[in-house]
Amino acid sequence: MHDLKRDFLRYLAQTSDSPIGLEIERAEGSWLYCSGGQRYLDFISGIGVSNLGHGNPEVLGAIERQAKRHLHAMVYGEYVQRAQVELAARLAGVLPPSLNRIYLTNSGAEAIEGAMKVARKHTGRAGFVAFDGCYHGDTTGAMALGGNPVFRSPFGTLIGPVRHLPYGEAGELRRIDDSIAAVVVEPIQAEGGVRIPSLDFMGGLRRRCDEVGATLVFDEVLTGFGRTGRLFGFEHFGVVPDLIVLAKALGGGLPLGAFCGSDQRIGTLAHDPPLGHITTFGGHPLSCAAGLAALNVTLREKLWERAALQGAKLIASLRDLVAEQMVAVRGMGLLIGIEFRAPALAQAFVARTIERGVIINWTLNAERVVRLAPPLTIGDEELEFALHAMGEALRELR
């Protein structure tokens, strides 16, 4: 018989020595169904993508209709393609006017790279500031911003110069100076251990960027589209960035990213030289059709309100578990971190919870923190199922 798992390990490039390796047969709502007949509650939305759960009928219908119209037709930016235009217009309608010009990409990292190029071209400067613990993707530019030297150092010279500052420390923002093209920041650090900065820090960051003429870039790849209890993370802080980077849930389950800013900023890519930033598949019509349907559902159902409600319940119940191995539970909406006393405890907790049918994972740059990011549509019974599994897993760690 054809051994899928063996061929997965034999032919696909591996990213670690210990992949979860579940054989996914199909997915529906908040659940993943495997070939062995088991099902798992997708408590990370794989990761941060399936905000509407899996198999939303409006998204599937939009994909089917677009597939019948056309797939790829031309590199991004040449032909007028309805799916791209309609998504961009809808997105512009929910973003502040200064973020109304949208460049569509394939992924989050590609959108980060685009934002870095815009900032350099617009300011005529070379330097970047990013923050300890941050994650912006794994292409060489995005990785250079990454806030964990363990991941950067094996790859030699990456794009520079990048200055890393401590996340959340307003006093350090003076180190942003007029050599800096852009400051790239997550409004809530996800891979950094679900860290939530203060209003003071974010306000100070906006003021400092204005003082020195640096471009303030918000990476909302994970925090966008309702995940944190607002449509976008920046809304929590009363700060509007100069560029916003989106991906993950943007494509409704298909690959799609975007960087958005003012006409003046994004317009720098259209000349000197023209075609200095192009992409074959960026803004693929299928992804845009899925993304528009997903955005329409998100807006109609006000899913950010649901994220806030379900997130508050989940955080309160997790705090009630009060296990001695846990240091803290924190989060915004349905982006939640559980901090343990030691990395080994976090890893054991993840393994035990998955054994009980709930998929969770730890964070890349904070080994003691486990991240929860279920679909925003998660139901009460599903929350109960997850809490029961996590409670049992904690008891087993004692």
CA–CA separation, 282 and 51 (whole Å): 21
190: contact with ligand PLP by CB under 6 A: yes
- Tell me whether residue 41 or residue 112 sits nearer to ligand PLP (CB atom): 112
Read off the DSSP letter of residue 103.
Answer: E
Q: How many residues in the shown chain lie near ligand PLP by CB under 6 A? A: 14
Q: Is 54 within 8 Å of 25 (Cβ atoms)?
A: no
CB of 74 to ligand PLP, least distance (A): 23
Q: Which amino acid is present at 365?
A: N
**Is residue 51 involved in binding ligand PLP (CB under 6 A)?**
no
Q: What span, in angstroms and rounded, lies between the C-alpha atoms of 289 and 182?
A: 31
Let me know: does 163 contact 220? Beta carbons within 8 Å: no
How distant is the alpha carbon of residue 13 from its chain centre? 23
Residue 186 makes contact with ligand PLP by CB under 6 A: yes
Q: Minimal distance in Å, beta carbon 108 to ligand PLP? A: 2
Which 236-275 positions form the footprint of ligand PLP (CB under 6 A)?
A: 247
Quick check: 107 binds ligand PLP (CB under 6 A)? yes
* Chain position carrying tokens 């897993």: 393
| Closer residue to ligand PLP (CB): 104 or 394 | 104
Closest CA to 371 of 47, 153, 93, 149: 47
- 3-state secondary structure (DSSP) of residue 352: helix
Query: Which CB sits closer to ligand PLP, 51 or 385?
Result: 51
| Residue 84 binding ligand PLP, by CB under 6 A | no
Among 137, 168, 252, 282, binds ligand PLP (CB under 6 A): 137
113 binds ligand PLP (CB under 6 A): no
- CA 111, CA 128: separation in Å to the nearest integer? 16
Minimum Å gap between C-beta 229 and ligand PLP is: 17
**Does residue 222 touch ligand PLP according to CB under 6 A?**
yes
Backbone φ and ψ of 73, nearest 5°: -125, -35
In the complex, the residues that contact ligand PLP under the rule CB under 6 A are 107-109, 112, 135-137, 186, 190-191, 219, 221-222, 247
